[in-house]
Amino acid sequence: MKKYLFVILLFTQSFANASDSYQSIAEKARNNIPQQTAIYRQDAEKALIAAESLTKNYKNDAFIAENQAKSILIYNQQDNNKINDKKKNPSILIFISFSMPEKSIEAYLRDAKKIHASVVIRGLIDNSFQKTFQRIAMLVKSSGGDGVELNPIWFKRFDIKTVPAVVVVVDGSPCFKNNTCQKDRDFDVMTGDITLASALRIIRDRGITKGIVQSALEKLKEGGYA
């Protein structure tokens, strides 16, 4: 009987010691909660500050890139306007939109370079100079052509409502300087998703700018067109 009593007392003592140990561990853990919480809070604050810093840097980079793109587009437009003001020869304009198939745009850019024609767009992609400049740069690189001019005024002046459109302006026309610009007197126009060469041939056969167009067609032929 004493033997069993000793075992029970020993087990009770061991249980009590274990309870004390678990209670001690629990108390330590409970005491560490504020410290661990503070550490997690500091880590979270550091992460938040880092995220805010990265966001700010990206916004600054995007702002700088957009301003650079805007400056380049505006510079190109002003430069082209100066060239057009000085031109004594008739001009050929190709009106396009980024909604057109990419291959069609590349073909127009490539052929426009051969005859020194201007390729014109109405507006920006998502109202973003940065996105527009990036798209233009990509198309110019893939086509081997020249740049694109942002000029919604010309769309209005030549009454362009459908793209692509090819416009050939007679020499001495007032179209580039004022609003007195009339079809069949100052310029010919051809719309439709056809090649530049096809559009020019139709204008040559039907329009008032036969000599100008024939010269452009000869340049295209020298460069090789289908």
Q: Which domains does the chain have, with CATH numbers?
A: 68-223 (3.40.30)
pLDDT, tens digit, 9 for 90 and up, residues 212-223: 999 999 999 886
pLDDT digits (tens, 9 = 90+) for 52-92: 765 665 565 555 555 555 544 544 554 555 444 444 544 89
* pTM for the model: 0.62
> Within the chain, where are the H helices?
2-86, 102-115, 129-143, 152-157, 196-206, 210-223
**Over the chain, what is the mean pLDDT?**
79
The SS3 of residue 171 is coil
